[in-house]
Amino acid sequence: MDEGLKTIIAFLETVHPYDGLPQDELARVAGSFSRREYHAGEEVYHAGEPLKGLYLVKRGAVEVLEPSGGIVSLLGPRNSFGERGLMRSGLAVTTARVTQDAVLLMLPTGEFRRLIAEQPSFERFFQRGRGSEHRESDLTGQKVERLMAREPFTVPAETPIRTAARLMRDKSVSSLGVTEAGRFAGLVTVRDFTNKVLAADLSPDLPVSQVMTRDPVTLPPNALGSDVLHVMLERRIGHLPVVEGGDLVGIVTQTDLTRFQAVSSAQFVRDAATAADVTELAAVTARIPRLLAQLVGAHNAHEVVTRLITDIADTVTRRLLSLAEQDFGPAPVPYCWLACGSQGRQEQTGVSDQDNCLIVSDDATAEDMQWFARLARFVSDGLDACGYVFCPGDMMATNPRWCQPLRVWRDYFAGWVATPDPMAQMLASVMFDLRPIGGDPALFRALQEDTLDMAARNSIFVAHMVANSLKHAPPLGLLRGFATIRSGEHKNHIDLKHNGVVPVTDLGRVYALIGRLPVVNTRARLEGAAEAGVISPSGARDLIEAYDLIARTRLEHQAAQVRAGTAPDNFLSLPELSDFERSHLRDAFVVVRTMQSAVGQSRGARN
Q: Which residue, 224, 257, 290, sits at the end of a domain?
A: 257
User: Which of 379, 400, 401 minimizes the C-alpha distance to 390?
Assistant: 379
C-alpha triplet 302, 563, 62: angle, nearest 5°:
65
Query: How large is the average pLDDT for residues 57-75?
Result: 70
How far are the Cα atoms of 64, 155, 490 from residue 43, in angstroms, in the given order?
Answer: 10, 41, 54
Query: How large is the average pLDDT for residues 463-485?
Result: 86
3-state SS, residue 37: strand
Residue range of the domain that includes 9: 3-134
Q: What confidence score (pLDDT) does residue 295 get?
A: 84
Least confident of 129-133, 207-211, 577-581: 129-133
Query: How large is the average pLDDT for residues 151-162?
Result: 93
Q: What confidence score (pLDDT) does residue 301 get?
A: 83
- Looking at the domain assignment, is residue 139 inside a domain? no
Q: What confidence score (pLDDT) does residue 504 get?
A: 96
C-alpha triplet 453, 599, 421: angle, nearest 5°:
60
What is the number of domains present in the chain? 4
Q: Which residue, 435, 457, 479, sits at the end of a domain?
A: 457
CATH of the domain at 39: 2.60.120.10
- Looking at the domain assignment, is residue 68 inside a domain? yes
Q: What confidence score (pLDDT) does residue 278 get?
A: 96
Cα–Cα distance for residue pair 107/104, rounded to 1 Å = 10
Residue 284 sits in the same domain as residue 415: yes
Q: What confidence score (pLDDT) does residue 29 get?
A: 93
- Looking at the domain assignment, is residue 316 inside a domain? yes
CATH of the domain at 514: 1.20.120
pTM strictly above 0.75: no
Query: How large is the average pLDDT for residues 27-33?
Result: 93
Q: Please check the confidence at residue 571 and state whether its pLDDT lies above 70.
A: yes
User: Which of 585, 519, 550 minimizes the C-alpha distance to 120?
Assistant: 519
H helices present in 395-536, as ranges: 406-418, 422-431, 442-456, 459-469, 502-515, 522-531
Q: Please check the confidence at residue 259 and state whether its pLDDT lies above 80.
A: no
Mean pLDDT, the chain, whole residue set: 86
Residue 233 sits in the same domain as residue 299: no
Please check whether residue 432 is in contact with residue 405, taking contact to mean a CB–CB distance below 8 angstroms: no
Query: How large is the average pLDDT for residues 529-557?
Result: 93
Residue 525 sits in the same domain as residue 409: no
- Looking at the domain assignment, is residue 549 inside a domain? yes
Q: What confidence score (pLDDT) does residue 150 get?
A: 64
Task: Name residues whose C-beta falls within 8 Å of residue 561's C-beta, 6 or more positions apart in sequence.
Answer: 350, 567, 568, 569
Residue 564 sits in the same domain as residue 582: yes
Residue 279 sits in the same domain as residue 415: yes
Residue 293 sits in the same domain as residue 367: yes
The kind and range of the H/E element at 602 are helix 579-606
CATH of the domain at 377: 3.30.460.10
How far are the Cα atoms of 20, 364, 585 from residue 339, in angstroms, in the given order?
Answer: 18, 21, 30
- Looking at the domain assignment, is residue 266 inside a domain? no
- Looking at the domain assignment, is residue 373 inside a domain? yes
**pLDDT tens readout for residues 430-450:** 889 999 999 999 999 889 989
Q: Please check the confidence at residue 85 and state whether its pLDDT lies above 80.
A: no
